[in-house]
Amino acid sequence: MSAAEQARLPVGALLALAMAAFITILTEALPAGLLPRMAQGLAVSEAWVGQTVTLYAIGSLVAAIPLTAATQGMRRRPLLLAAMAGFAIANTVTTLSANFALTLLARFLAGVSAGLLWALLAGYAARMVPEHQKGRAIAIAMAGTPLALSLGVPAGTFLGTAMGWRMCFGAMSLLALALMVWIYLKVPDFAGQAADQRLSLRQVFTLPGIRPVLFVVLAFVLAHNILYTYIAPFLATAGMVERTDRVLLVFGVTSVLGIWIIGMLIDRHLRTLTLASTGLFGLSALVLGIAGHEAIVVYAAVGAWGLAFGGAATLFQTALAKTAGNAADVAQSMLVTAWNTAIAGGGIVGGVLLERLGVGAFSPALLTLLLATLLVAWSARHHGFPAPAG
């Protein structure tokens, strides 16, 4: 293979992984934009329909580590296809079900599929390319995430309004089936790990650098979800609650820009980008705490927050993939668990802060978490977020 061929990224295969991420995020988030219509169609309250998101998250949380550990020996492409088949089945059941309990079961299955998929994606992308391109490959594979949040969810909400919520989930099933064909044709297969090469969960967890990366994931994403989950009451104090959609659009657009910037620079500047993203998020939280009542300040700070957060998943997954080496998939399953724990924790911690102290407590809480994130990332200069050689 020539040097030019080695330097060329397998874009078609990586975009298939990005589409898998897109389907995963969109399947998770669609109910949020379709609550009233789903509630009417299933003859339950909107609060109960909200639990379809909860069941999805629980499925990811409980399945990621054990399922990934149990499938270490399986070939990778059949496993990826199985995860996508889970989405096709779950979304088909959601499309056709008139029984709420059955719908919840389908959502749990979708969450299980998501837990497996997220554990696979980063390691899969990394195995397609040489060492010096791993970060960029993971960035392409993760591009579907901000696109789903910034474009997919609003588009799904519009489609649900125009054609009915069941059509949205039906479209997701067809998309998953089409992607399975794309994966079969374009994504290379890799062998699973031989039994004598597999590490136990404890061995992976105690590898140098793994625990610092997982802590950074937990603290950074917890800070994000405290603010993101309760952005509407936060904006209400600035008299901007009716502009929540515009604020989130700014966040989505700058998130996409963030993942593009990270993708261009990550292979040479992983450590610097991690520290810079954490610092930028902290600056945004500080500004929102000091001047969050001014509309122009809110838009600017939220834009900076989106820029910092957009590439965060890519940074953390790349750091973990490089740190874990051949145990990348098991390590990524731990990241999935930490990420979903932070999502759930954001709802709980943010809710407690909101009820007891008000939105004024958000900025100090975020700054505390981000300072801890910065210190741990800074100290992991040998393993986890290593300083450049020389």
pLDDT tens-digit readout, 3-28:
443 458 899 999 999 999 999 988 88
Question: Does some domain include residue 388?
Answer: no
Question: Does residue 346 carry a pLDDT above 90?
Answer: no
Q: 258 and 164, same structural domain?
A: no
Q: 275 and 143, same structural domain?
A: no
* Residues contacting 355, CB < 8 A, separation 6+: none
Q: 259 and 343, same structural domain?
A: yes
Q: Structural domain of residue 266, as residue ranges?
A: 201-379
Q: What is the CATH number of the domain that holds 252?
A: 1.20.1250.20
Q: 111 and 221, same structural domain?
A: no
Residue 3: both structure tokens together = 């040097």
Look at residues 148, 163, 189 and tell me which one is the last residue of a structural domain.
Answer: 189
Question: Does residue 1 carry a pLDDT above 50?
Answer: no
Question: Does residue 370 carry a pLDDT above 70?
Answer: yes
Q: What is the average per-residue pLDDT within 247-263?
A: 87
Question: Does some domain include residue 194?
Answer: no
How confident is the model at residue 336, as a pLDDT?
Answer: 86
Residue 208: both structure tokens together = 């140098």
Question: Does some domain include residue 195?
Answer: no
Q: Read off the pLDDT band of 390 (50, 70, 90).
A: low
Q: 175 and 321, same structural domain?
A: no
Q: 146 and 286, same structural domain?
A: no
How confident is the model at residue 196, as a pLDDT?
Answer: 66
Question: Does residue 286 carry a pLDDT above 50?
Answer: yes
* Residues contacting 186, CB < 8 A, separation 6+: 12, 13, 16
Q: 112 and 62, same structural domain?
A: yes
Question: Does some domain include residue 107?
Answer: yes
Of the listed ranges 91-95, 145-149, 243-247, the least confidently predicted one is: 145-149
Q: 257 and 157, same structural domain?
A: no
Question: Does some domain include residue 269?
Answer: yes
Question: Does some domain include residue 158?
Answer: yes
> What are the helix (H) ranges across the chain?
3-7, 11-33, 35-42, 46-70, 76-96, 100-127, 134-142, 144-147, 153-163, 165-186, 201-205, 210-229, 231-236, 244-291, 295-310, 312-324, 328-356, 362-379
Question: Does residue 280 carry a pLDDT above 90?
Answer: yes
Residue % of the chain over a pLDDT of 90: 47
Question: Does some domain include residue 254?
Answer: yes
pLDDT digit string, tens, across residues 201-245: 888 899 999 999 999 999 999 999 889 878 888 888 888 878 877
Distance from C-alpha of 228 to C-alpha of 370, rounded to nearest angstrom: 15
Q: 134 and 212, same structural domain?
A: no
Q: 176 and 212, same structural domain?
A: no
Task: Report how many domains make up the chain.
Answer: 2
Q: Which is nearest to 204 in space by CA: 335, 79, 73?
A: 335
Q: 149 and 114, same structural domain?
A: yes
Look at residues 189, 216, 239 and tell me which one is the last residue of a structural domain.
Answer: 189
Distance from C-alpha of 203 to C-alpha of 39, rounded to nearest angstrom: 46
Range picked from 137-141, 338-342, 371-375, 381-385 for highest mean pLDDT: 371-375
Look at residues 154, 169, 189 and tell me which one is the last residue of a structural domain.
Answer: 189
Q: 218 and 137, same structural domain?
A: no
Question: Does some domain include residue 386?
Answer: no
Distance from C-alpha of 148 to C-alpha of 381, rounded to nearest angstrom: 33
In a 13 Å sphere around the CA of 250, the CA atoms on its Cβ side amount to 17
Q: What is the mean pLDDT of the chain?
A: 88
pTM reported for the whole predicted model: 0.82
